[in-house]
With several copies, the nearest count.
Chain A
Amino acid sequence: MNTTNSNTEITLLARSAPYGSGAAKLCLDVSIAAAVFEQTVNYVFLDDGIYQVLDEQDASPINSKSLGKTLEALGLYGIEKLYVDEDSLRKRNLSTDQLLPQVELVNADAIKKFINQSKFVLTL
Protein backbone atom coordinates (compact mmCIF):
# COMPACT_ATOMS: atom_id res chain seq x y z
CA MET A 1 0.00 0.00 0.00
CA ASN A 2 1.21 3.41 -0.98
CA THR A 3 -0.61 5.55 1.54
CA THR A 4 1.84 7.01 3.98
CA ASN A 5 3.88 9.17 1.64
CA SER A 6 1.07 11.41 0.45
CA ASN A 7 -1.35 13.62 2.30
CA THR A 8 -4.87 13.95 1.01
CA GLU A 9 -7.62 16.08 2.45
CA ILE A 10 -10.85 14.22 3.10
CA THR A 11 -14.18 15.75 4.10
CA LEU A 12 -16.72 13.59 5.90
CA LEU A 13 -20.28 14.91 5.91
CA ALA A 14 -22.04 12.98 8.68
CA ARG A 15 -25.76 13.40 8.01
CA SER A 16 -27.39 10.45 9.83
CA ALA A 17 -28.64 10.06 13.36
CA PRO A 18 -26.58 7.58 15.39
CA TYR A 19 -27.71 4.09 16.55
CA GLY A 20 -30.88 3.84 14.42
CA SER A 21 -28.83 2.95 11.36
CA GLY A 22 -25.23 1.88 10.93
CA ALA A 23 -24.27 4.95 8.86
CA ALA A 24 -22.83 7.04 11.70
CA LYS A 25 -20.57 4.17 12.77
CA LEU A 26 -19.29 3.63 9.23
CA CYS A 27 -18.44 7.31 8.95
CA LEU A 28 -16.60 7.18 12.27
CA ASP A 29 -14.60 4.15 11.12
CA VAL A 30 -13.56 6.00 7.96
CA SER A 31 -12.46 9.02 10.00
CA ILE A 32 -10.22 6.86 12.18
CA ALA A 33 -8.75 4.97 9.23
CA ALA A 34 -8.02 8.22 7.41
CA ALA A 35 -6.37 9.70 10.50
CA VAL A 36 -4.31 6.56 11.14
CA PHE A 37 -2.99 6.82 7.58
CA GLU A 38 -2.13 10.45 8.28
CA GLN A 39 -4.63 12.07 5.99
CA THR A 40 -6.25 15.40 6.85
CA VAL A 41 -9.85 14.88 7.93
CA ASN A 42 -12.57 17.55 8.05
CA TYR A 43 -15.32 15.88 10.09
CA VAL A 44 -18.54 17.85 9.56
CA PHE A 45 -21.89 17.11 11.21
CA LEU A 46 -25.01 18.35 9.48
CA ASP A 47 -28.69 17.53 9.14
CA ASP A 48 -29.53 14.57 11.43
CA GLY A 49 -25.80 14.04 11.90
CA ILE A 50 -26.04 16.79 14.53
CA TYR A 51 -27.47 14.17 16.86
CA GLN A 52 -24.14 12.32 16.80
CA VAL A 53 -22.48 15.09 18.79
CA LEU A 54 -25.12 15.39 21.52
CA ASP A 55 -23.54 15.29 24.95
CA GLU A 56 -24.22 12.60 27.56
CA GLN A 57 -24.91 9.70 25.24
CA ASP A 58 -24.86 6.38 27.11
CA ALA A 59 -25.52 3.50 24.75
CA SER A 60 -25.03 0.74 27.34
CA PRO A 61 -28.82 0.18 27.71
CA ILE A 62 -28.96 -0.77 24.03
CA ASN A 63 -25.76 -2.83 24.25
CA SER A 64 -23.78 -0.50 22.01
CA LYS A 65 -20.75 1.65 22.39
CA SER A 66 -21.51 5.35 22.86
CA LEU A 67 -20.70 7.08 19.61
CA GLY A 68 -20.33 10.39 21.43
CA LYS A 69 -17.58 8.97 23.66
CA THR A 70 -15.58 7.78 20.67
CA LEU A 71 -16.02 11.12 18.90
CA GLU A 72 -14.77 12.86 22.02
CA ALA A 73 -11.63 10.75 21.94
CA LEU A 74 -10.76 11.40 18.28
CA GLY A 75 -8.12 13.90 19.40
CA LEU A 76 -5.95 10.82 20.07
CA TYR A 77 -5.93 10.30 16.31
CA GLY A 78 -5.27 13.94 15.53
CA ILE A 79 -8.87 14.86 14.77
CA GLU A 80 -9.15 17.78 17.18
CA LYS A 81 -12.27 19.46 15.90
CA LEU A 82 -15.80 18.32 15.19
CA TYR A 83 -17.39 20.84 12.85
CA VAL A 84 -21.11 21.44 13.26
CA ASP A 85 -23.27 23.11 10.62
CA GLU A 86 -24.89 26.00 12.49
CA ASP A 87 -27.93 25.98 10.23
CA SER A 88 -28.71 22.31 11.03
CA LEU A 89 -28.29 23.00 14.74
CA ARG A 90 -30.65 25.97 14.68
CA LYS A 91 -33.26 24.01 12.74
CA ARG A 92 -33.28 21.35 15.47
CA ASN A 93 -33.64 23.87 18.31
CA LEU A 94 -30.39 22.72 19.86
CA SER A 95 -27.63 24.88 21.31
CA THR A 96 -23.90 24.26 21.65
CA ASP A 97 -24.11 23.68 25.41
CA GLN A 98 -26.00 20.46 24.65
CA LEU A 99 -23.14 19.24 22.45
CA LEU A 100 -19.71 17.68 22.99
CA PRO A 101 -17.03 20.19 24.05
CA GLN A 102 -14.94 19.67 20.88
CA VAL A 103 -17.55 20.99 18.49
CA GLU A 104 -16.95 24.15 16.51
CA LEU A 105 -19.83 25.84 14.75
CA VAL A 106 -19.27 26.53 11.07
CA ASN A 107 -21.41 28.17 8.40
CA ALA A 108 -22.21 27.03 4.88
CA ASP A 109 -19.27 28.94 3.38
CA ALA A 110 -16.79 27.11 5.59
CA ILE A 111 -18.28 23.75 4.64
CA LYS A 112 -18.25 24.72 0.96
CA LYS A 113 -14.55 25.47 1.34
CA PHE A 114 -13.91 22.04 2.96
CA ILE A 115 -15.68 20.34 0.07
CA ASN A 116 -13.79 22.41 -2.48
CA GLN A 117 -10.32 21.78 -1.18
CA SER A 118 -10.80 18.04 -0.48
CA LYS A 119 -9.87 15.31 -2.88
CA PHE A 120 -12.60 13.07 -1.55
CA VAL A 121 -15.94 13.83 0.09
CA LEU A 122 -18.01 11.16 1.78
CA THR A 123 -21.58 11.77 2.94
CA LEU A 124 -23.08 9.16 5.20
Chain B
Amino acid sequence: MTSLHTITKPPSAAALQSCAKFLSEGDSILLLEDGVYYSADANNWPALPLGTKVYGLKEDFVARGLSKIVDRQVELVDYARFVQLSCEHDKVVSWL
Protein backbone atom coordinates (compact mmCIF):
# COMPACT_ATOMS: atom_id res chain seq x y z
CA MET B 1 0.00 0.00 0.00
CA THR B 2 1.93 3.06 -1.21
CA SER B 3 1.02 6.66 -0.44
CA LEU B 4 1.47 9.94 -2.24
CA HIS B 5 2.10 12.53 0.48
CA THR B 6 1.23 16.11 -0.44
CA ILE B 7 2.90 19.01 1.39
CA THR B 8 1.20 22.39 1.01
CA LYS B 9 2.54 24.43 3.93
CA PRO B 10 5.92 26.24 4.10
CA PRO B 11 8.92 24.67 5.88
CA SER B 12 8.13 26.70 9.02
CA ALA B 13 5.04 24.51 9.48
CA ALA B 14 7.30 21.43 9.56
CA ALA B 15 4.78 19.13 7.85
CA LEU B 16 7.48 17.41 5.79
CA GLN B 17 9.44 16.76 8.97
CA SER B 18 6.43 14.93 10.42
CA CYS B 19 5.59 13.18 7.16
CA ALA B 20 9.19 11.92 6.78
CA LYS B 21 8.89 9.90 9.98
CA PHE B 22 6.10 7.79 8.52
CA LEU B 23 7.23 7.04 4.97
CA SER B 24 7.09 3.48 3.66
CA GLU B 25 8.79 1.90 0.68
CA GLY B 26 7.22 3.07 -2.55
CA ASP B 27 5.85 6.27 -1.02
CA SER B 28 6.37 9.57 -2.84
CA ILE B 29 6.15 13.23 -1.91
CA LEU B 30 4.55 16.06 -3.86
CA LEU B 31 5.44 19.64 -2.92
CA LEU B 32 2.77 22.15 -3.92
CA GLU B 33 1.34 25.52 -2.85
CA ASP B 34 3.63 26.90 -0.08
CA GLY B 35 5.21 23.45 0.28
CA VAL B 36 7.41 24.34 -2.71
CA TYR B 37 9.58 26.56 -0.49
CA TYR B 38 11.17 23.37 0.85
CA SER B 39 12.93 23.20 -2.46
CA ALA B 40 14.71 26.51 -1.86
CA ASP B 41 15.98 25.61 1.57
CA ALA B 42 18.21 22.55 1.82
CA ASN B 43 18.64 23.08 5.59
CA ASN B 44 15.01 22.25 6.15
CA TRP B 45 14.97 18.86 4.42
CA PRO B 46 14.50 15.98 6.80
CA ALA B 47 16.22 12.69 6.00
CA LEU B 48 14.07 10.69 3.57
CA PRO B 49 14.24 6.91 3.09
CA LEU B 50 16.47 6.00 0.15
CA GLY B 51 14.49 5.86 -3.07
CA THR B 52 11.71 8.25 -2.00
CA LYS B 53 10.68 10.20 -5.11
CA VAL B 54 10.01 13.91 -4.59
CA TYR B 55 7.80 15.74 -7.08
CA GLY B 56 6.96 19.44 -7.26
CA LEU B 57 3.94 21.09 -8.86
CA LYS B 58 5.40 23.25 -11.63
CA GLU B 59 2.67 25.90 -11.57
CA ASP B 60 3.39 26.66 -7.93
CA PHE B 61 7.15 26.81 -8.46
CA VAL B 62 6.78 29.31 -11.30
CA ALA B 63 4.30 31.46 -9.35
CA ARG B 64 6.72 31.79 -6.44
CA GLY B 65 9.82 32.56 -8.52
CA LEU B 66 11.41 29.23 -7.63
CA SER B 67 11.63 27.49 -11.00
CA LYS B 68 15.34 28.30 -11.25
CA ILE B 69 16.27 27.30 -7.74
CA VAL B 70 14.69 23.88 -7.65
CA ASP B 71 16.51 21.34 -5.54
CA ARG B 72 18.03 18.69 -7.82
CA GLN B 73 16.11 15.87 -6.20
CA VAL B 74 12.73 17.45 -7.05
CA GLU B 75 11.07 16.51 -10.35
CA LEU B 76 8.63 19.16 -11.58
CA VAL B 77 5.24 17.88 -12.76
CA ASP B 78 2.00 19.40 -14.02
CA TYR B 79 -1.60 18.81 -12.89
CA ALA B 80 -2.05 15.97 -15.39
CA ARG B 81 0.85 14.13 -13.77
CA PHE B 82 -0.49 15.01 -10.27
CA VAL B 83 -3.65 13.11 -11.16
CA GLN B 84 -1.64 10.19 -12.54
CA LEU B 85 0.47 10.07 -9.37
CA SER B 86 -2.76 9.90 -7.34
CA CYS B 87 -3.72 6.81 -9.32
CA GLU B 88 -0.29 5.17 -9.24
CA HIS B 89 -0.17 5.27 -5.45
CA ASP B 90 -2.74 3.43 -3.36
CA LYS B 91 -3.79 6.57 -1.52
CA VAL B 92 -3.11 10.25 -1.14
CA VAL B 93 -2.17 11.62 2.29
CA SER B 94 -2.52 15.41 2.44
CA TRP B 95 -0.51 17.04 5.22
CA LEU B 96 -2.88 19.98 5.80
Contacts and interface: CB of A to CB of B under 8 A. Distances in A.
A7 interface: no
A108 B40 CA distance: 24
Given A17-B34, A55-B65, A112 B24 contact: yes
A56 interface: yes
Interface size classification for chain B: 35 or more
A119 B21 CA distance: 19
Interface string A12-49: 00010111110100000000000000000000001110
B68 A46 contact: no
Contacts of A98: 69
B91 interface: yes
B21 to A, nearest CB: 5
A61 B41 contact: no
Nearest to A115: B22
Contacts of A104: none
A34 B22 CA distance: 23
B84 interface: no
B8 interface: yes
Given A48-B12, A56-B68, A58-B62, A111 B37 contact: no
B12 A93 contact: no
A64 B63 contact: yes
A58 B96 CA distance: 25
The 8 closest A-B pairs by CB, nearest first: A20-B34, A61-B59, A57-B65, A54-B65, A56-B65, A59-B63, A121-B93, A108-B21
8 contacts: A46-B18, A47-B18, A56-B67, A57-B63, A58-B65, A68-B65, A94-B40, A115-B3
Interface of B: 1, 3, 8-10, 12, 14, 18, 21-24, 33-34, 37, 40-43, 58-60, 62-69, 91, 93-96
Given A20-B33, A112-B24, 14 more contacts: A47-B12, A48-B37, A54-B66, A56-B68, A58-B63, A58-B65, A60-B63, A64-B63, A98-B69, A111-B21, A112-B21, A115-B93, A116-B24, A118-B91
